[in-house]
Amino acid sequence: MSILDVRNIYKIYGKDSSEVKAVNGISIKVDKGEVVAIMGPSGCGKSTLLNILGCIDAPTKGEYYIDGVQVDFKKLNNLSQIRNEKISFIFQNFALIKDLSVLENIILPLKFRGGPYKERVNKAMKYLKELEIENLKNKSVRELSGGQQQRVSIARALTQESEVILADEPTGALDEQNSIKIMEVLKELNKKYNKTIIVVTHDNLVASFCDKVLKMKDGKWDNMKNVN
């Protein structure tokens, strides 16, 4: 069974002559442990699609299944639970709180799940060590380089221990050397923990690390033969 199953998804803005189909009848199945790149020019709909996969945005029509269970986009509590338990995010701008320490940033999403504080810290430290940045745990995010901040962002996603990681231009703010390092880290973690990773990118270097590359154009797949 596919871990993610998208069936004929549309995202439509406006009406009649001003109607825009940002996502235009997209279908895709992603198996557990796959690393998938979604590529395409600016405005092709790839980030909109990623937001739907992450239950941040709702489609206008179509069906979306996670682990065989259909997502009900009308139930906000259900969407929050999915984002908290099933899906983690890595963003281009890192989305870290600058005034908090590295450790505080990483354990923040776990606060909403409850549980002992010590348990949250132990879990965070596990992945800080995994990413070789445990020495940065008490540093303010403001003190970190771009590459270090992205490693913190990855550690935060891993600490949630979600099955699926969605990455929106995860190397967009980094130079080529750091981009390679980050993708090597993600690929290694994919192998070790069998994480399913979907990356939105415009960078062929990033795409070269992925098992499957899908290209979008005008809200549709531009290479349909590679989708299933």
pLDDT of the residue at 96: 94
CB 173 within 8 A of CB 197: no
State the average pLDDT over residues 202-216: 95
Closest by CA position to 149, among listed 193, 96, 70? 96
Tally of CB atoms within 10 A around 56: 14
- Residues 173-199, mean pLDDT to the nearest whole number: 92
Question: In the predicted model, is pLDDT for residue 83 greater than 60?
Answer: yes
The pLDDT of residue 17: 84
118: closest CA among 107, 129, 109?
Answer: 107
Class at the top of the CATH hierarchy for domain 32-57+73-221: alpha beta
List the beta bridge partners of residue 13: 20
Mean pLDDT on 155-160: 92
pLDDT-derived band at 223, boundaries 50, 70, 90? low
Q: What pLDDT score does 93 carry?
A: 85
| 198-222 mean pLDDT | 95
Using pLDDT thresholds of 50, 70 and 90, give the confidence band for residue 165.
very high
Please give the model's pTM, rounded to 2 decimal places. 0.90
The answer on pLDDT for 226 being more than 60 is: no
Mean pLDDT of 75-87: 91
SS3 content of the chain, % helix, strand, coil (to 5): 40, 25, 35
Q: How many residues does the chain have?
A: 228
Binned at pLDDT 50, 70 and 90, residue 75 comes out as very high
What does the pLDDT read at residue 142? 94
Radius of gyration of the chain (CA): 18
Tell me the per-residue pLDDT of 118-147, one tens digit each, with 9 for 90 and over: 999 999 999 999 889 999 999 999 999 999
